[in-house]
Amino acid sequence: MPISYETDRRLWLLQGDTTAYAVRLDAGDVPRHVHWGPSITLSEAVALSHELPDPAASSFEQGPGAAELAVEGGDHFGPASLQVRFADGTRGVEWRFIGHEARGDHLRVELADRYYPLRVTLHYRLQGDVLERWADVVNHGPDQLDVLRADSAAWHVPVQESYRLSHLVGAWNSEFRLRRVELPAAETVLTSRRGTTSHHANPWLAIDDGTAGEEHGEVWSTVLAWSGSWRVTVHRDPGGRTGWTGGFGHEGLTWTLEAGETLTTPTFSGLYSAEGFGAASRAWHAYVTRQVLPHPGEDRPVLYNSWEATGFDVDEAGQMALAARAASLGAELFVMDDGWFGARLSDRAGLGDWQPNSRRFPNGLRPLADEVRRLGMRFGIWVEPEMVNPDSDLYRAHPDWVLHQPNRRRTEMRNQLVLNFARPDVEQWAHAWLDRLVGDLGLDFLKWDFNRAFTEAGPDRVFLEHTRAVYRVMDRLRADHPGLRIEACAGGGGRADLGILRRTDQIWPSDNTDPVDRIGIQHGFGQYFPARVMSSWVTDNPNVTTGRTTPLRFRFHVAMAGVLGLGGDLTTWSADELKEAAEHVAAYKRIRPVVQHGTAYRLEGSGTLTGVQYVRDGEHVIIAWCPTRPYGYTPGPLPLPAVSAGADYLDLDTGITHTGAVLLHRGLPLDLPPGDHASAIVRLRRLP
């Protein structure tokens, strides 16, 4: 049974594939954490539930045992997961246990306040070794109830001598930079106040004792599935106890619950790995594939996007010419980017007027769609449904539709404002034109963008309801148009999370397509996102973001580690470049089943040599990069952790056979070209 219950201790044990999680109720009906780690028996969980005296405890410390959802009030002085204010001004919660229900892999623990009409259900659901947690907060009274904080879950790890925090930081064009730092004895807050997940932080984190590596050591990690503002507070006290609590919304927001209303928090999932950060990532990848993605078994097509070729200078003839060139290289999906609608001659006008520009497309978009399909490709379009330019017919007709507050100026960023999707009329308008656009053209693909943060957002509930409305629009579109696929984009990786990914098929990690920078971006992105959702383009030289010039081979090899795309101005590429590009596209299609559907192992060599190994049914694809090579440095063999010491492996391109023991301990020899920006792809097959 995945869920066991011990009556005397009022303890629940949830058993995953290789891990376990245990929680109990104390004498005051407070849910207390017992265990999160390797598999244990119910009797062992009971033994663990008996607290040992804390030698550092005193009358100034909080009560025994870490709370599963810490509330404001009583003897708790750490960060609160749940803060409420009742109609008479009283704050804090005192629990009364109502009951529990365990069905299959789903546990519900029902709690109520001892005096006030508040009920909370704690949800626990096992998916393999990933534990999903969320909460329902219900106002059972006749009066309004203010919720000042409603986190999805609190997590706790065993006492260690030291702790290390891994998290993702960044900025526009520099997202998903992995940071590993010693966790201070303090409260460390990871957050976004921008109305979206943000470029600057991501709601994933991992904790270890400072000694874990890629393939060894204990790692505890969590991911919040939410695409709006969020906050996670990590707390390490001087006594050595460490945990964190997290959920939607940032500090200072209040949700007002009407009588009978329920607030359901987003899923906050946790995973324990006994075999390092690599095993943790692979477990997250498997979870995303099985439980999150709408169409996990599909091959993601090689796409071409017109943005870097045309910018806003979009017209029918130019797009058709690019489509022909893209098809000749082997592209399978053509995506027309910004500039096709309204008065969109620059980023200053037209956003919100989602009708084709009649001068640029005198017969609408149907001729282009038909030509793209005649060339053997699918057809997609860029949209930014949540934004509007003040210089647009939509804004002139509905200035009240944007986020704004009385007596405050409307802050423009990128010459645009944010439409308030928390308004039912805005949500209905967005769905109507998107449904019409997709239906009329039979669109195969939407690149859904979101290019600026919230400002002047109010009331507080906008931060919740806007994101929920975006989810509903996407859900309706996908239900009504089963062939539609969506890419999540937000000025690059500004809205990359498991909430948006449940409704999309891939994510654009960054507007920065420089392959040197992309290696680091993709390394951080892959901490919990699998390769099959990582959109990566090959673009022009010099790179539009960095000005760096790199070989076409290097650009392709970096992009081939995910979902390959083409984004350059193909009309300027030489005949040799076009020939080489077509060869790389064909090579990608040969390795695509292993890259997109295989198991990923991050590789570390000497110096700047790194790579990724993908494994599927005995087939191995190794992609290696060496961005810089100091004088006298020869990149050595690259050790492969995903081979068996007793097996042999055939190089499918050279015919050379390698022994597994040598590949595992010494490494794979690489035939790298000289100089900087060197790369290689090796295909191996395990021999019977």
Instruction: Give yes or no for a contact between 68 and 243, defined as CB atoms under 8 angstroms apart.
Output: no
Q: What pLDDT was estimated at residue 630? A: 86
Copy the structure tokens of residue 440: 């009329």
Q: CATH 2.60.40.1180: which residues of the chain?
A: 603-686
- When pLDDT is cut at 50, 70 and 90, the band that residue 238 belongs to is confident
Copy the structure tokens of residue 641: 């952790």
Q: 120-165, pLDDT tens digit by residue?
A: 999 999 999 999 999 999 999 999 999 999 999 999 999 999 999 9
Tell me the β-bridge partners of 15. Answer: 20
Rg (alpha carbons) of the chain, rounded to whole number: 26
Q: What pLDDT was estimated at residue 54? A: 59
**Beta-carbon contacts of residue 170 (< 8 Å; ≥ 6 apart):** 176, 177, 199, 200, 201, 493, 521, 524
Residue whose C-alpha is closest to residue 488's, from 448, 544, 445, 442:
448
Instruction: Give yes or no for a contact between 603 and 638, defined as CB atoms under 8 angstroms apart.
Output: yes
Q: What pLDDT was estimated at residue 53? A: 59
β-pairing, 678-686 vs 657-659, is unpaired
Query: Average pLDDT of the chain?
Result: 96
Q: 395-411, pLDDT tens digit by residue?
A: 999 999 999 999 999 99
Q: CATH 3.20.20.70: which residues of the chain?
A: 303-596
Copy the structure tokens of residue 394: 């939509």
Torsional sign, CA 511, 512, 514, 516:
negative
Cα gap 532→8, rounded to integer Å: 47
Cα gap 13→25, rounded to integer Å: 12
Residue type, 299: D
Q: What is the mean pLDDT of residues 38-63?
A: 76
Residue 587 has pLDDT above 90, yes or no: yes
Of the CATH numbers 3.20.110.20, 2.40.70.10, 2.60.120.560, 2.70.98.60, which one belongs to the domain with range 80-284? 2.70.98.60
- When pLDDT is cut at 50, 70 and 90, the band that residue 328 belongs to is very high
Cα gap 298→289, rounded to integer Å: 11
Q: 265-274, pLDDT tens digit by residue?
A: 999 999 999 9
What single-letter DSSP state applies at residue 247?
A: E
Q: Which CATH class is domain 603-686?
A: mainly beta
Cα gap 269→224, rounded to integer Å: 6
Burial string for 470-495 (b: 16+ CB within 10 Å, else e) reads bbebbeebbeebeebbbbbbbbbbbb
Cα-Cα end-to-end distance for the chain:
37
More confident residue, 64 or 431: 431
Burial class (CB in 10 A: 0-12, 13-18, 19+), 73: middle
Q: CATH 2.70.98.60: which residues of the chain?
A: 80-284
Residue whose C-alpha is closest to residue 410's, from 422, 429, 425, 395:
395
Cα gap 506→565, rounded to integer Å: 12
Task: State the pTM of this model.
Answer: 0.97
Cα gap 234→245, rounded to integer Å: 7
φ and ψ at residue 485, rounded to 5 degrees: -120, 150
Copy the structure tokens of residue 419: 């439409």
SS3 content of the chain, % helix, strand, coil (to 5): 20, 30, 45
Residues taking part in catalysis: 449, 511
- When pLDDT is cut at 50, 70 and 90, the band that residue 56 belongs to is low
Residue 64 has pLDDT above 60, yes or no: no
Residue type, 255: W
Tell me the β-bridge partners of 534. Answer: 507
Q: For 303-596, which CATH superfamily applies?
A: Aldolase class I (3.20.20.70)
Q: What pLDDT was estimated at residue 69? A: 95
If one counts every other C-beta atom within 10 angstroms of the C-beta of residue 258, the result is: 10
What single-letter DSSP state applies at residue 531?
A: G
Cα gap 246→223, rounded to integer Å: 10
